[in-house]
Structure 1
Amino acid sequence: MAARALFSGLRDATVEMVAVAYLDPNRRLLGMRHVIGGRDQVAISIRTIAVDALAFGAHGVILAHNHPSGDATPSARDVAFTRALEAGLRTLEVVLLDHLVIAGDEVTSLRAMGIV
């Protein structure tokens, strides 16, 4: 999976981090944003992601964050943020392609779970 390589830096982080990949219509990388959080949470606003998407002229976004706890199960907060982000980006004609939760070698796709 190409996303594993793209977000490999999150795998072994000891604090929560989020990475956002902005993609063109052919799913080529236009740019990324990384945000470092605390022991068990990281914050990035929907507005920040939307502004970046527009600045890059992105057609798609992949969001990924890690769980240093070792459990790649998305939290209720992860699910709620994903749904809000997807709705916000949709108004800008930008597609949320996936939200990945990474914990060590485990990767959970919210798209595969039917949330995106």
Structure 2
Amino acid sequence: MLQRAESPSILAGYEAGRSFFAPCFAAAPTLERLWVAHVDDEARCIHLASYDSSLDADDLPIRDILGDAIRLDSAGIVLAHNHPGGDCAPSTTDRAATTALGVAAEAIELTVLDHLVFGDSGCASFRRMGLL
């Protein structure tokens, strides 16, 4: 499902990303959902997409994400998903899926700016943890 971003939010840095995505998980915290914000060269959100799939390297909609990036001429993407179990620490599966997406994104000169994981214990950032 694709949704157009209503305003040109600037997604530069952890706090901006956390604030931007937090409301996305308020409605259905018991379901795992992936959100992808496409940004331009100035980190302005130009499009927002959501996917109802677990963050698994086999289920991650890499083709859809990269197809949108090409169509929108995105400079980068910021990913966010939730852990309904509550722990915001990235799992091994989260790391593998993000790595697979990052490798594919490099081929089209798309930057994965961050991947945020939301849980009851807060929000973890792949960038801040040195995983990107």
| RMSD of equivalent CA atoms | 1.4
What is the CA-CA distance between 1:54 and the residue it aligns to? 0.8
Partner residue, 1:14: 30
Partner secondary structure for residue 7 of structure 1 = helix
Contact 2:60 2:97 in 1 (8 A): no
- What do residues 74-116 of structure 1 show as CA deviations (whole Å, max 9, x unaligned)? 1111000111111110110110001110113611011112111
What is the CA-CA distance between 1:30 and the residue it aligns to? 0.6
TM-score with structure 1 length normalisation? 0.90
Count the aligned residue pairs. Answer: 113
After TM superposition, the structure 1 = structure 2 runs for residues 1-116 of structure 1, keeping only pairs within 5 Å, are: 1-8=15-22, 9-11=24-26, 13-37=29-53, 41-42=54-55, 43-104=59-120, 106-116=122-132
Q: Runs of 5+ in structure 1 lacking a partner?
A: none
Partner Cα separation in structure 1 for residue 101 and residue 32 of structure 2: 19
The farther-off stretch of 15-24 and 45-54 is: 45-54
The amino acid of 2:21's aligned partner reads F
Partner secondary structure for residue 84 of structure 2 = coil
Q: Runs of 5+ in structure 2 lacking a partner?
A: 1-14
The amino acid of 1:71's aligned partner reads D
TM-score with structure 2 length normalisation? 0.79
Partner residue, 2:6: none
The amino acid of 1:76's aligned partner reads T
Partner Cα separation in structure 1 for residue 65 and residue 114 of structure 2: 14
